[in-house]
A and B are shown apart, each in its own frame.
Chain A
Amino acid sequence: MSLLEIENLRVTFETETGPVQAVRGVSFGLGRERLGIVGESGSGKTITGRSVLRLIRPPGRIEADRMVFDGIDLTTASEKQMRALRGPRLAMVMQDPKYSLNPVMRVGAQLMEGLLRRDRLGRAEARKKAIAALEAVQIRDPERVMEAWPHELSGGMGQRVMIAMMLIPEPDLLIADEPTSALDVTVQAEVMAILDNLVRERGMGLIFISHDLRLVAQFCDRVLVMYHGRIVEELAAGDLMNARHPYTQGLLNCLPKIGGSREPLPGLDRTGDWANV
């Protein structure tokens, strides 16, 4: 049975200079699997992810023919229902950890907040769980990080803290928006392994948003390629390197390769018919 079903999702922003259509008719379904969304920046990946949690603020507007999460209709759910879903069942790791952590609260307090309030755990137990979560995302010195302020963390550290925070309530669906783009390759691999584990062990659904095609190919089951607010191609991750759509092919070709030639890298050719959708 599928965890999330979306049909014809559209998101429009009313700006001073006229309406901007950020997402223009996106449909997909998701089981308890790893779904990747790739595309250039501005293609609407983040907005698609946020729409699932209905986290689009005015002047943005969400419209969809159907948006169902585990039998719950997200288009008609009340704001109260949504609040109850966000966190325990639907979680999202935001793109920029700097703006997603509360700057005037220690990291530990933020991690424990949900455990103390929602799950009504004791302080000692909440602390133990929070530290375990930090260890799960490969933070070397969890005790110190618990006492740190968000501004004292590096970008990579902040992103891992965000992931830990989202995973504490064991959500059914995690939307990870570029969770590793501030990390270097070695740490990236570690974080991906953690997410991978969670999907397998807990049967969590994962939407993994990234602009790194190679990472998505290596790590996801299925991939959606977005361009200009639309899905232009959907394929099994294993086939991504042999994609047929000219946009996907173009994106793959512009990557430099170790041992490749020193010729100028091919740019993305935007003159094809596909570019004017």
Chain B
Amino acid sequence: MTTTLKPETADQVREAVQWAGGNETPLEVVGSGSKRAFGRPTDLAYTLELRALTGISLYEPEELVLSAAAGTPLAEIERALAGANQQLDFEPPDFRRLLGIDDGGGRGGTLGGAIACNFSGPRRIKAGAARDHFLGFKAISGRGEDFKSGGRVVKNVTGYDLSKLMAGSWGTLGVMTEVTVKVLPAAEKTRTVLVMGADLTAAVEAMTVALRSPYDVSGAAHLPAGLTGTSEVSYVREAGGAVTAVRIEGPGPSVEYRCEVLRRELGRFGQTEELHGMNSSLFWAEVRDLIPFAGAGDRRIVWRISIPPQSAPAVVDRLAGRAGADTLLDWGGGLVWLAVEAADDAAFDEVRAVVAETGGHATLIRAAEEIRAAVPVFQPQADAVAALSRRIKAGLDPLGVLNPGRMYAGV
């Protein structure tokens, strides 16, 4: 039986961590649990869940800054931002459908969780990752002590940038209680140029042309023929072949102009179409949340592979031959989503080896618990880096009470 502690204040979080340290009882740290089915399983008797630690404490649209308790639902954050025509520019994805966690639709996850996992959506190529929008935090370390770093301003080099370290640390270094993020104006207009029927190599080339242009592309994805059928956007669903998509956002006249030029330049890769407004937003939300791999019966293993964009054709070529394999490209080819049969356990070594050659990394996003316990979920690190990670963990959480083993065994 797992006991779940739901602190409502930072003081209670501190108490819980101190108790855990005093009794050498590790805690599973979660926001609302929207990404629980990802990462190495922890199997601990106590869970520290932060969803009761909520509330926006500061939001100044003209200063582009927002602070909130770490457990504040992303839904609440995004509602507040939309009221001032702003947004989290890194497009935090919602993987609940992909991971088969259904807690009632809408927008899942907490702000603290989005940052602790450092997942970013298609706009990553232009706007940066979650970590690039993360300005400061208050947290309780594994030692049960309060610490903070950063602040509420963007320009800040006072001391080490611990915000970067906390982003993507999966709750293994500290329990964040309050986070401050940079927010940005939402684009006035969004449109998407679709190129129909390009094969993978041509698609990467087309996306490269767009990304090398001065037209400030904010999304570049490729869905091969088999993956377009689930889209709610009819242009995509009824494409009857592969779809390569390039997103343009900004002030109205500028978007119209850039779309027109890009359509002309991309015409040589296939017939082009254009998605406007809602259709464009819907399509990118599907890419962001990986809806093509989130079908009800889909139990395939899903990998998230970050590589130099130009390596995509070769990497896909070597991996796509596996039984039941599908690939979807985002970030102009720099992010390859790969699905393979659940029983294909020979894929692990091969995926890791192929990806390692490019210098990139592969993360196991969806897999049965036994697999995630047996296979490294994150790309294994070079010895020197792994040793350094262990020393960092030992410094901030010497008793190993915060999410031990969530990322790597022994960290």
The answer to whether A and B come from one shared complex is no
B residues engaging A (CB < 8 A)?
none
A residues engaging B (CB < 8 A)?
none
